Each structure stands twice: as C-alpha cells, then as structure tokens.
Chain A
Amino acid sequence: MTINEIQEELIEDFAFFDDWMAKYEYLIQLGKELPLIDDQYKTDEYLIKGCQSKVWLHADHQRGKVLFTADSDAIITKGLVALMIKVLSGHSPAEIADSELYFIDQIGLKEHLSPTRANGLLSMVKQMKLYALALQAKGR
C-alpha cells in the first residue's frame, strides 16, 4: 500500500469512533501494542526531546525501504507515534520525503501536532523526513 492508501485506511478506521473517548482508547491501545524499540537505541542519541514527553526514534535502511521503530514515555504520544510509523515505515526514502501527512488533521488529532504541545511528535515527523532526505541524497 502507498502512504496515501494507508492514510485513507486510517481515516476510515477512525470514522467508526463516535466520541473522543473511543478514539483515545484506541490510541492508547495502539501505544501499548507498538513494538518496543531495541534498548540499545533508547539513548540520548536517538532521543527527540519534547518539553513534556520524550520520543526515541530509530531508522533502518533495508533493501531500499526505511524501517522506523520508536518509543515514548507517554502512552498517548506513543499511540500517535504508532500511527506515524504505520504510515511512513516500509517506504522508500523518496516516498517518505515527498509525503504529505494529512490524516492526523482528518482524524481530529491535529492538536497533537501543534508546536505548543511540546510532546516531541512534530519533531519526530521532521526527523523521519530528514532521515529519508539524507538517504535519498546518499543514494544519488
């Protein structure tokens, strides 16, 4: 599936929730299910520091695809991190670099990407794209 197909699927999934609570319960569930990042990457080197919650991000480049793993110390942030990984992980650097993430807005979670939230999520998305751009440049 392309990045946009995955985004569409998530938008459809979230349309089933008729209140915020169901939506957040799902996010929390996603957060709990997110495969843990390998402990060796849970260091300052991989830390994206928000003012409030922390996010660790690791990227791997295998057979032309970028594979992301991540973790957060806050479970709701982790749920959102899981969504980002679902959408962006397993695609080529060019696809990731060129992607436009519109699903967060459409599923009504835009507030979490606001810079004032300081949860590290916005920086994480930037970091994912930067990583893809760097790989893309290296590949040329």
Chain B
Amino acid sequence: MEQTAVLEHFDVEKIRQDFPILTRKVNGKPLVYLDNGATTQKPKQVIDAIVEYYTQLNSNVHRGVHYLSQLATDAFEVTRRKLRPFINAAHEHEIILTKGTTEGINLVASCYGKAYVKAGDEIIISAMEHHSNIVPWQMLCEERGATLRVVPINDAGELDMEAYRAALNDRTKMVAVTYVSNALGTVNPVGEIIRQAHAAGAPVLLDAAQAVQHLPIDVQALDVDFLVFSGHKMYGPTGIGVLYGKEKWLDAMPPYQGGGEMIKDVAFEKTTYNELPFKYEAGTPNIEAGICLAHAVDYLETAGLNRIAQHERELLAYAGGRLLEIPELRIIGTAQEKSSVVSFLLGGIHPYDVGVILDKLGIAVRTGHHCTQPLMERYGIPGTVRASIAMYNTKEDIDALVAGVQKAAEMLA
C-alpha cells in the first residue's frame, strides 16, 4: 500500500490530509481533537487497509490450506515482522499479539505470577499507574499472598527514585511501571528503573501505551523484560495490542489461555503447547486489526518518531505556556520530562463542567480521573481536564483549546 511521503521537515498540514475525520464538524464547529491519550484517529492508509482486508483477504489465519487463508496468514505475520524492528526486539517470536495493553498486563501477571510469585514476595508499581497496571497485580498478590508496594511521586508528578531504590529487595519479583503517565504526561526514567531492578534480580514490565506513539523505543537497549502497548493509541485499529517479552521469560512461563492455535498436540492424557509466539495466542485473533496494525507502524515510521516527538514537544510547551495565561488555571503534573499530555484544573471549577463547555465548542478532551483514582487521591482532586496531543495537532488546535477554556471560565465563574 502506498504511503504518503513525509518530507524531511515535519509537514503537519500534509499529515492532517491523511486523517479524514479531522475535517468533520462537531456541534457545528470544526473538530479539535485533543483526546489522543484515549485513542488516536486513523490515517486513510489504515482505513483503506481495513476495507481491503474485508474486500480481498477475509479468511481465518494459521489454519486453512486454501489461497485466501494463506494470504491472510501472510498479511497477519507481516505485522509481527514489522513490529520487531519497530521496537528492536531480538526475535519476531517475542512479539505476542494481544487485544491491547490491558490484556498484555493481565497475561504477564497471570503467567509470570503462576511460575514465579509466591507468598511473601513483592511486586512494585508506582503511584501514577493506570488502573490496568494496578488491578492485575493486586489480584495476583491476593491470590499468592504477595505484597504490592507502591513507589510514591513528588508534587511535580515525578517518581521518588530514592523510595524506589529502598523498595527493591530480594523478595521483589516484578517491577511494573508506566513509561509515560496517561494522566500527567510524566516520562519516567525507565533506563534507570530497569538497571536498578535488574541489580536486585527483578524483571521489569513497562506499560508503553502512552509512549510508543510519541518516542522511539528500543527494547534491547532498554533491556526491558516485558513491554506492552495498544494499536488504537498509535493510529492503528482497536482490539489489537502487543506484548513484547524476552524469549527466556516467554519460554519459561506457562500459557495464558487454552484453546486452538496455542497447541501442538492435543490428547485427553496430555497436551503439548505450540512454540512462540503461538503459545500465547489461543483462539482466532482479531485478524483485521492485526493485519492493519502493520499500516499504522508504516505510517509512524514514515512520519518518523523523532520528528513526531520534536513536533509534539513544541506543541506541549506552547500549550503549557498559553494555558497558564488563563487566571487561576493550574497544571497538574509539571515533571521535567513530559510527553504529549497537559492536565489542568480551572480554579475550583469541576473538570466535568469544563469538559461539557469544551464539547459544545467542538473540542474533544478527557475529563475525570483518567483511570488513575489513587493518583487523583494523591493530589486531593476529583480529576482533571486532560488535553493530549498527537502528531496531527497544530498550534491552532491549542489556540482553540485556550479560547474554549477562557469561555468556560467566563460561563462557570
């Protein structure tokens, strides 16, 4: 499929032309889409691929001998082949296709937990985790009699690395942290986190759901043990995600679910499991999304993650500066290292009220606790208004947001 050529410098207007939804109106106003942390819009390259799948390829994968089944299987495996260099995994079979980030974390908590976690062990998470990187570990700890330890943050929203070092010990069986905070935008020092965990003998799972679309990731350079992310937050289809795991862990852990695809031989006495990656991919996958995710990877690589990161960094700085022009606006999350997210509160006004007014103006943001209730509790707030940026956003989008927040301030004061 033809990719739009993106020139050396980042041409955001050209990028925008690839996203058909950006030209529509909402409540009679041009759409200003700043809810990219929840999900990104899709370029026509991905949309076209979905149509092409159902008009040309539709068939089940990894089974049939017939022509279409082979085409679909090949296309599905192309995604794995493209994902490997995208995150620089050592092997294609270290790429497990899942439903999304949540399933990836649940898979690791369940399978790694069965193999390695026992009573008295400890799992470390951070105070800024999404519920999906809290609850699976809580469930595991309850089941195994292990302890969940939470690394606190400072007021800026940065991890307390002293406390982290102090929490690590020989009972630590896993460190599960987010790369980029979905609610605050904090970019965690993951290299340092991984080095220290390994020094203590513990593997690390990184939740990269808010990272993989914003900055280049090299799992071998990071030496991370598990990395999870979702297709729909990186311009790809919904219902597909990636779990990267080091081969040694994936080989050692038991399978997640039983069923078709994940077996080698089934007899009532004993079943032998399929090899990687299929051991963890029971049942018919989301074939359409799996195939079309490759087009999102192509799109990101053509646009260039370094260029995207630069563009988004500029926009984020611009958004922060402009928003602070508004009296009584305070930004929640002021870490030194931030990516793509600006969370804020307007005086004592409830974030829900601000969100309703912005929606009326055609501006899509997220309001609420962003599935990080313990984090909101930490700040003593009911939630925030969150604007989250993607590669197709512009300074005009930010200006519209600022004007919208000013309008909301007038109406709600």
A52-B368 in contact given A20-B27, A77-B352 (Cβ < 8 Å): yes
Q: Chain B: which residue is nearest A75 at the CB level?
A: B353
Flag if B352 contacts A24 (CB, 8 Å): no
A52 touches B351 (CB 8 A): yes
Number of residues from A at the complex interface, CB < 8 A:
16
* Contacting residues, chain A, for B383 (C-beta < 8 A): 52
Partner pick for A119 among B352, B357, B369, CB 8 A cutoff: B352
- What is the CB-to-nearest-CB distance from B39 to chain A, in angstroms, rounded to a whole number? 14
Interface string of A60-94 (1 = CB under 8 A from B): 00000000000001111100000000000000000
CB of B112, distance to nearest CB on chain A (Å): 31
A53 in the interface, Cβ–Cβ < 8 Å?
Answer: yes
B45 at the interface (CB under 8 A from A): no
Contact B360 A53 (CB under 8 A): no
Task: List the A side residues contacting B27 at CB < 8 Å.
Answer: 20
- The answer to whether B352 touches A76 (Cβ under 8 A) is yes
Contact call A28/B351, Cβ cutoff below 8 A? no
Q: Which of A7-38 contact B (CB under 8 A)?
A: 20-21, 24-25, 28
Q: Output the least CB separation between B270 and chain A (Å).
A: 47
Chain A residues with CB under 8 A of B368 = 51-52, 118
Q: Are A74 and B352 in contact (CB under 8 A)?
A: yes
**A24 engages B360 (CB within 8 Å):** yes
Closest to B382 in A: A73
Residues of B within 8 A of A77 (CB): 350, 352-353
Question: Which residue in chain B gives the minimum CB-CB distance to A120?
Answer: B352
- Contact of B351 with A21 in the complex, beta carbons under 8 Å: no
Q: Is the CB of B412 within 8 A of A75?
A: yes
The CA of A54 and the CA of B350, in the complex, are separated in Å by 10
What residues of chain A lie closer than 8 Å to B367, measured between beta carbons?
52
With A20-B27, A52-B383, A118-B368: A74-B411 Cβ-Cβ less than 8 Å: no
Q: How far apart are the CA atoms of A76 and B353 in the complex, in Å?
A: 6
Say yes or no: A24 contacts B357, CB within 8 Å.
yes
Q: Does the CB pair B351–A75 fall under 8 Å?
A: no
Instruction: With A51-B368, A118-B368 as known contacts, state yes or no: A76 contacts B356, CB within 8 Å.
Output: yes
**Chain A nearest Cβ from B369, distance in angstroms:** 8
Residues of B within 8 A of A119 (CB): 352
Chain B nearest Cβ from A26, distance in angstroms: 11
Which single residue of chain A is at the shortest CB-CB distance from B360?
A20
Q: What is the total of A-B residue contacts with beta carbons within 8 Å?
A: 41
C-beta contact mask, A115-129 vs B, less than 8 Å → 1, else 0? 000110000000000
Quick one: which of B27, B351, B353 has the most chain A CB within 10 A?
B353
- For A74, what are the chain B residues with a Cβ–Cβ distance below 8 Å? 350, 352-353
How far is A74 from B385 in the complex, measured between Cα atoms in Å?
Answer: 13
Nearest chain A CB to B61 CB, angstrom units: 33
- Give the CA-CA distance A127 to B382 in the complex, in Å: 23
Docked complex: B137-163 residues within 8 A CB-CB of A:
none
What chain A residues lie within 8 Å of B412 (beta carbons)? 28, 75
Instruction: Kindly state the separation between the CA atoms of A52 and B365 in the bound complex, as whole angstroms.
Output: 14
- Name the distance in Å between A114's Cβ and chain B's nearest Cβ: 12
Given the known A-B contacts A51-B368, A52-B367, A76-B353, are A25 and B411 also in contact in the complex, defined by CB atoms under 8 Å?
yes
In whole angstroms, what is the CA distance A84 to B308 when docked? 48
Q: Is B349 an interface residue (CB 8 A)?
A: yes
Closest A residue to B368 using CB positions: A52
Interface 0/1 of B356-368, CB less than 8 Å to A: 1100100000011
B411 touches A52 (CB 8 A): no
- A54's closest neighbor in chain B, by CB? B382
| Contact A24 B411, beta carbon cutoff 8 Å | yes
Shortest C-beta distance, B172 to chain A (Å), equals 33
Asked whether B350 lies within 8 Å of A53 as measured between CB atoms, the reply is yes
The distance from the CB of B332 to the nearest CB of chain A, in whole angstroms, is 16
Q: How far is the CB of B28 from chain A (nearest CB, A)?
A: 9
User: Which residue on A lies nearest to B349, using beta carbons?
Assistant: A75
Q: Mark B369-398, 1 if CB is under 8 A from A, else 0.
A: 100000000000011000000000000000
| New A-B pairs, 15, CB < 8 Å, besides A52-B368, A52-B383, A53-B382 | A20-B360, A21-B360, A25-B411, A51-B368, A51-B369, A52-B351, A52-B367, A52-B369, A52-B382, A54-B382, A74-B352, A75-B350, A76-B353, A76-B356, A119-B352
Q: List 6 A-B contacts (CB under 8 A).
A: A21-B360, A21-B411, A51-B368, A52-B383, A74-B353, A75-B350
* Residues of A that sit less than 8 Å from B by CB: 20-21, 24-25, 28, 51-54, 73-77, 118-119
Q: Which 6 A-B pairs have the closest CB atoms?
A: A74-B350, A74-B352, A52-B368, A52-B352, A53-B352, A76-B353
